[in-house]
Amino acid sequence: MKDFDDRKYVVTAIILVTSFIYLIRLFYVQVIDDSYKLSAKNQALRTLVHYPSRGLIYDRNKELLVFNEAAYDLMVTPKQTKGIDTTAFCEIVGITKEEYIAKMEKAKSYSSYKASVFEKQIPSDQFTSISEKLYLFSGFYGQKRTLRKYPKPIASHVLGYIGEVSLSRIKKNPYYKKSDYIGIRGLEKEYEKELRGKRGKKVLMVDVHSRVKGSYQNGAYDTMAVHGTNLYTSIDRDLQEYAEHLMKNKRGSVVAIEPSTGEILTLVTAPSYDPNFLVGRNRSDNYNSLVANDSLNPLFNRAIDAQYRPGSIFKLVQSLVGLEQGVITTETRIKCNRGIINCHGNHSNDKLVEAIQHSCNPYFYQVYKRLIQPGKYSNIFKDSEAGLNEWHRMVSKFGFGQKLESDIPGISGGLLPDVAFYNRWYGEHRWAFSTIYSNSIGEGEMGVVPIQMANLAATLANKGFYYTPHLVKGIGEDFSIREVFTTKHETEITPKYFDPVIEAMSAVVNLPGGTARQARLDSIEVCGKTGTVQNPDRPDHSVFICFAPRDNPKIAIAVYVEYSDYGGLWSAPISSLLIEKYLTGKINDTEKEKRMLEAKFLTIYEK
């Protein structure tokens, strides 16, 4: 009986405690927490999201590249749309009856009671006429947004674009909500956190016809949107526009860098597209047409993702590694033995500078052989492994075979073959120099992307170091920058060894018989090297890298023109026009300019 009495007290205590908890919770809900009041009145209240304006994007001279323009999303709450005149509605909004049905079904699948986007990104001038009659159609209202706009139709691959956030992204990052927009490519993607700003909201009272009757509780629940942070890029708008003009009707790329900082002055992919094409109500249709109907693939960023063999330009790197390793000197002569590898031009027994100027294949065949087979081991396979390991280590210091730590999303690392690569391909101890000698002249298994070649030109201009190529010069009003872009990357090549290589590059452009005479400028000493990327059964790619002026270089460039045969004919003169435009602000050789502008290389070659 005593045990029963004890249990009675325990049960009574539990009931009292539980009742007390419920009373406290009820007090909190009814007196303290107004969110339940809002929920109870949700049929009479409307929460408008205040979407922040994304940060503006400027060029290096604070010229505007991207700004915002007012637009509206047409929102719908399906449960409130009974009895509307759909024919009149479709006429006002500018859609078909079939489109109305499809959009309404999509909205219902989301929620019949919650508002969702019915028609997105309506320009403000179009929405003005819609909004005047929107009161006739219950359940619909406008949600203010902004659209990205571009004062000049340039730099689409640099700037990128924004799009509606995916469900997978929402699951990964709770900041994003349905109907939010997010950077998808280019700088819009890379600097999304800085550009996006912070959402706000406004709670409004509405009547049964969805007409706004005023702010709820004098705006007690409203919050202000915070504007996104502005970006100041390293791009020179005028140079970018001119480079895109020169690359019109061509396939290829242009990358220009300021050697002393690593700032990218221009980054062009051709063919390209107008960035305004992927904005507004027709964005999805336009995007699909670019993907499905354009065989030239204008969305593909060749400047950072197209992989080519480096060709003869790589002889510059072979020269520097050979000098540093001591397998040659500037006075080393090597006979142009065309019996072991083909060559061109009238030369026979060059020193290093002459070999670079004449682009002598047998010379660099022998240089590479001395690097790969240094004579450390009697076993030729073991010796080749040792040589390739050291060669790979030194060449990688130039930024090859790796993704440069840039602020360009999607950048490729190319291919710099190492011992493990050839062991997988041929088998361990089954390859030697004689197997891989094509690398000596930049052919074989090597692969580079244009931005790496522009970075090589900047490294040569700096005589042995580079800063990671990057697109943003400053973030926000304090002009901050990522620390990685101020870090100097050394090549481990002694600076004095760059002098003969640069002398040879000057000879390539400025001396009679040089392969890049069409890059010569009267008032500026240009140093460069042509290259030809071989394509069996089709025209070769034209390649040229250079920097200028020779003393205190201000610009380093890599130009690729696909299927145009020879580097000296097309890439070299395009480079010189860009140098002249950037350094002097004008073009003297208008005939050269005219020839480059009129050239067309858009033939499609099937793989």
pLDDT, tens only, 335-351: 999 999 999 888 889 99
Q: What is the pLDDT of residues 184-202, one digit of tens each?
A: 999 999 999 999 999 888 8
Query: 145 by DSSP, 3-state: which?
Result: strand
Evaluate if residue 71 carries a pLDDT over 80: yes
Q: Does 419 lie in the same domain as 522?
A: yes
Q: Does 142 lie in the same domain as 267?
A: no
Tell me the helices (H) and strands (E) count for the chain, helix number first. 22, 20
pLDDT interval class at 433 (50, 70, 90): very high
Q: What is the pLDDT of residues 296-326, one digit of tens each?
A: 889 999 999 999 999 999 999 999 999 999 9
Give the residue from 255, 237, 161 showing the smallest Cα distance to 469: 255
- Tell me the CATH number at 476: 3.40.710.10
Query: 4 by DSSP, 3-state: which?
Result: helix
Q: Does 266 lie in the same domain as 121?
A: no
Strands (E) in 184-288, as ranges, are: 200-206, 212-215, 231-233, 252-258, 263-270
Evaluate if residue 144 carries a pLDDT over 90: no
pLDDT interval class at 244 (50, 70, 90): very high
What integer is the mean pLDDT of 95-108? 93
- Tell me the CATH number at 109: 3.90.1310.10
121 within domain boundaries: yes
Evaluate if residue 40 carries a pLDDT over 50: no
Contact 150, 162 (CB under 8 A): no
Give the residue from 374, 353, 157, 371 showing the smallest Cα distance to 254: 157
Q: Does 431 lie in the same domain as 311?
A: yes
| Helix spans in 203-270 (H) | 237-246
Pairwise CA distance, residues 556 & 461, whole Å: 7
What integer is the mean pLDDT of 15-30? 62
Structure tokens at 489: 């990357």
Evaluate if residue 162 carries a pLDDT over 60: yes
Peptide bond into 123 cis (omega under 30): no
User: pTM to 2 decimals?
Assistant: 0.87
Question: Would you state the pLDDT for residue 26?
Answer: 57
Pairwise CA distance, residues 546 & 256, whole Å: 10
Contact 81, 139 (CB under 8 A): yes
Evaluate if residue 29 carries a pLDDT over 60: no
Q: Does 264 lie in the same domain as 127?
A: no
**Structural domain of residue 90, as residue ranges?**
69-147
Q: What share of the chain is helix, strand, coil (3-state, %, to 5)?
A: 40, 20, 40
Residue 31: burial class (beta carbons within 10 Å; 0-12, 13-18, 19+): exposed
520 within domain boundaries: yes
| Angle formed at CA 183 by CA 182 and CA 189, multiple of 5 degrees | 140
Q: Does 355 lie in the same domain as 493?
A: yes
DSSP state of 480: B
Which residues, 6+ apart, have CB-to-CB distance to 98 below 8 Å? Answer: none
pLDDT interval class at 41 (50, 70, 90): very low
Which residues, 6+ apart, have CB-to-CB distance to 339 below 8 Å? Answer: none
168 within domain boundaries: no
Q: Does 448 lie in the same domain as 334?
A: yes
What integer is the mean pLDDT of 393-413? 96
What integer is the mean pLDDT of 100-112? 92
Which of 124, 147, 170 marks a domain boundary? 147
Evaluate if residue 518 carries a pLDDT over 70: yes
Evaluate if residue 177 carries a pLDDT over 90: no
Pairwise CA distance, residues 85 & 101, whole Å: 13
- Tell me the DSSP string of 399-438: TTTS----S-TT----B---HHHHHHHH-TT---HHHHGG
Question: Would you state the pLDDT for residue 532?
Answer: 84
592 within domain boundaries: yes
Q: 């947004």: which residue's tokens?
A: 145
Give kind and range of the element (H or E) at residue 68: strand 64-76
Question: Would you state the pLDDT for residue 395?
Answer: 98
Give the residue from 337, 273, 343 showing the smallest Cα distance to 315: 343
Structure tokens at 332: 């080393």
Q: 């950072």: which residue's tokens?
A: 304
Q: Please give the torsion angle defined by the CA atoms of residues 121, 122, 128 and 129, in that order, rounded to the nearest 10 degrees.
A: -150
Q: Does 243 lie in the same domain as 143?
A: no
231 within domain boundaries: no
Which residues are paired to 232 by β-bridges? 58, 474
Give kind and range of the element (H or E) at residue 557: strand 555-561
Structure tokens at 166: 């995916």
Q: What percent of the chain has pLDDT over 70?
A: 91
pLDDT interval class at 36 (50, 70, 90): very low
Which of 147, 162, 187 marks a domain boundary? 147
Q: Does 536 lie in the same domain as 407?
A: yes
- Count up the domains in the chain and report the number: 2
Residue 365 Rama label (left phi>0; alpha psi -120 to 50; beta): alpha
Structure tokens at 376: 């450390």
285 within domain boundaries: yes
What integer is the mean pLDDT of 467-483? 95
Q: What's the mean per-residue pLDDT of the chain?
A: 90
380 vs 416, 421, 431, 435, CA distance in Å? 21, 18, 9, 12
Higher pLDDT among residues 178 and 437, named by residue: 437
User: b vs e for 535-556, b when ≥16 Cβ sit within 10 Å of the residue's Cβ?
Assistant: eeeeebbbbbbbbbbbeebbbb
Query: Which among 22-36, 218-232, 538-552 has the top mean pLDDT?
Result: 538-552
Q: Does 256 lie in the same domain as 382?
A: yes
Structure tokens at 73: 């999303």
51 within domain boundaries: no
DSSP state of 350: E
Query: 287 by DSSP, 3-state: which?
Result: helix
Q: What is the pLDDT of residues 591-602, one digit of tens each?
A: 999 999 999 887
Question: Would you state the pLDDT for residue 410?
Answer: 92
Pairwise CA distance, residues 320 & 30, whole Å: 79
Which of 100, 123, 147 marks a domain boundary? 147
155 within domain boundaries: no
Higher pLDDT among residues 9 and 557, named by residue: 557
Contact 391, 422 (CB under 8 A): no
Give the residue from 486, 489, 444 showing the smallest Cα distance to 462: 489
